[in-house]
Chains A and B, each alone.
Chain A
């Protein structure tokens, strides 16, 4: 198997919110004890709803928020010991909104050339060659180089965003909801492009999405997050065809695809809404919404335990199938 490209060990990111003057200071446990790894060339799908901590996890891996506890090992070295620029050459990010994440006053050429210059590529001919090459890889034409973001459609802007992420030849790319802001008829183009680039360049991805269909198509392995914790992880087929955590089943049951549903009954749907991460329920965070809830779920947080090779679930009833 070889060494993982990224290894998270009991990673926690807590924020202090509130004020000492009124109301008191509270701790928001955005990420609370996550252990995960990503191998070179692998795509890890990260699924969860708003407030589950998936974006904070991404920021921590990028080195943009410091961990409260635990370690991030990137490409063999602890993230805290790495230079910022060195980290940026290893891990890059593709953002959800291609309208907000590009500088409106920079041409495509400038957007792609700036990172190269910042990272010490001084030869003008080389910069130009790499920009042209990268544009071709993401399906942009050479004449697009001198245009500004507003001259492009949403799908083309996302291609620029992908080119920017890849121009420094990173080994890991974090894609945060890369297609959810795009028109439905454009999404397949961008997903296929990401899959092609992964094979061609040997990239590893962390694909963050709430769209299970997208995650199933692109992922080798999948991790499901709920209120700061991983509740289930495993190979994509295991997760989608034999989900063991009631929250994973609830996510699958929530997909409105009436004539085409996976083997999950409508009874698996979750009740109510996601509690605030500031004041998560005790024990298993999912218990107030869970159809399998019992006394032990309120008393004890279930550990993430193996149910099959490479497949783990954090549920007291991980062997129940109803």
Chain B
């Protein structure tokens, strides 16, 4: 990518304070997103992917707090920005889509008004002009009969339609970065496919970069050019999307890719049993020392128990493109 990324997250550390003790809910999280690039962050619940997104948006709340690192958006260090400045950035330069559109939309306000608000707040438009543009925005996300729908309240829309409204709000001011946290998890599979296609198409047309957060490796790899995998608060691997599936380097990613019940796998392998990953995800109060995957790892040795592995760039690739955090990767 270009030497001047749109978003640079460098050494991010997020602290969780609970009962007087401070834990690192995310640490040493670093990645870059180029202009117009789709980047995916994948992991299981509690791995730190969603709070990383919240940190970028400046929305961390107690008991979570930013404890270190830099977040640079287009040359501006936004981890130091004032709440007023962050409010300006959110909506105009960073758009956001959350998992459950019913809780993210205001139930007491018609959806057209919630879209129009973006133009009024961020672009100083008048309300009547803003309502016209809201109708156009609904048309763009392919809500049928938008002129009628702008008067609807969120509860009158289906889940898929609500998520279309969320996309319309997020992209209203043509932000440079769209953060989508599990945008389709609450939707049915056939509806999910439509929403993902719509998001990808609109972002490509507007040149919007995407930070996509999900537990679904397939979904993220489908949409993004590069994917980073998080485990227990750390990024353990980042690679171009095809390579994550074809040649995963970290034992966790390998285990994940192999354990997925993928369509066609049963015929190909001639076997019903899946290859499982042993053990359970550790809780934040009891992260193992050294590499946090070591209790579940088939390759763990002495060094894995004591020394956290450093990030290693993978050979044959640009260092920003592919990296792994494992003593015995490959």
Contacts and interface: CB of A to CB of B under 8 A. Distances in A.
Interface of A: 49-50, 153, 155-156, 183-189, 191-192, 195, 210-214, 216-218, 236-237, 240-241, 250-262, 269-274, 289
B77 interface: no
B84 interface: no
B264 A185 contact: no
Contacts of B278: 189
Interface string B208-235: 0000000111110111000000000000
Nearest to A49: B188
Instruction: Summarize A's interface: helix, strand, loop or mixed.
Output: helix
A188 B277 contact: yes
A280 to B, nearest CB: 15
Interface in B144-170: 158, 160-161
Contact of B192 (A213, A254, A259): A254
B206 interface: no
Given A49-B189, A254-B189, A213 B262 contact: yes
Interface stretch (B17-25, B57-65, B267-275, B299-307): B267-275
B276 A192 contact: yes
A277 to B, nearest CB: 13
B129 to A, nearest CB: 31
Contact of B45 (A183, A218, A270): A183
A210 B188 contact: yes
A54 B223 CA distance: 30
Interface of B: 44-45, 158, 160-161, 188-194, 196-197, 215-219, 221-223, 241-242, 245-246, 252, 255-256, 259-267, 272-278, 280-281, 296
Given A49-B188, A251-B189, A212 B263 contact: yes
Contacts, number: 136
8 contacts: A212-B189, A216-B266, A252-B263, A260-B264, A270-B190, A271-B194, A272-B194, A274-B191
Contacts of B280: 153, 155-156, 186
Contacts of B193: 253-254, 256, 269-270
Contacts of A153: 280-281
A222 to B, nearest CB: 12
Contacts of B189: 49, 210, 212, 251, 254-255
Contacts of B245: 259-260
A212 B252 CA distance: 23
Contacts of B281: 153, 183, 185-186
A47 to B, nearest CB: 10
Given A183-B215, A210-B188, 13 more contacts: A153-B280, A156-B280, A183-B44, A185-B277, A188-B261, A192-B276, A211-B261, A213-B261, A214-B261, A217-B265, A254-B189, A256-B193, A256-B222
Contacts of A156: 280
A185 B257 CA distance: 10
A274 B159 CA distance: 10
B222 A216 contact: no
A183 B281 CA distance: 8
Nearest to A43: B272
Contacts of A186: 277, 280-281
Contacts of A253: 193
The 6 A-B residue pairs with the shortest CB-CB distance, nearest first, are A254-B193, A188-B259, A213-B261, A188-B276, A188-B274, A49-B188
Nearest to A198: B272
Contact of B272 (A218, A254, A270): A218
A73 to B, nearest CB: 28
Nearest to B196: A256
A151 to B, nearest CB: 12
Contacts of B266: 216-217, 236
A183 B241 CA distance: 21
A217 B263 CA distance: 8
Contact of A251 (B160, B190, B267): B190
B276 A254 contact: no
B44 A184 contact: yes
Contacts of A241: 267
Contacts of B161: 273
Contacts of B262: 213, 257, 260
Contacts of A259: 221, 242, 245-246
Given A185-B277, A188-B275, A192-B274, A254 B190 contact: yes
Contacts of A210: 188-189
B54 to A, nearest CB: 20
Contacts of B273: 192, 195
A226 to B, nearest CB: 10
B153 to A, nearest CB: 18
A35 to B, nearest CB: 25
Contacts of A184: 44, 215-217, 256, 259-260
A191 B263 contact: no
Nearest to B160: A273
B264 A240 contact: yes
Nearest to A255: B263
Contacts of A214: 261
A187 B160 CA distance: 27
Contacts of A255: 189, 218, 263
B164 to A, nearest CB: 10
A250 B191 CA distance: 10
A185 B261 CA distance: 11
A32 to B, nearest CB: 19
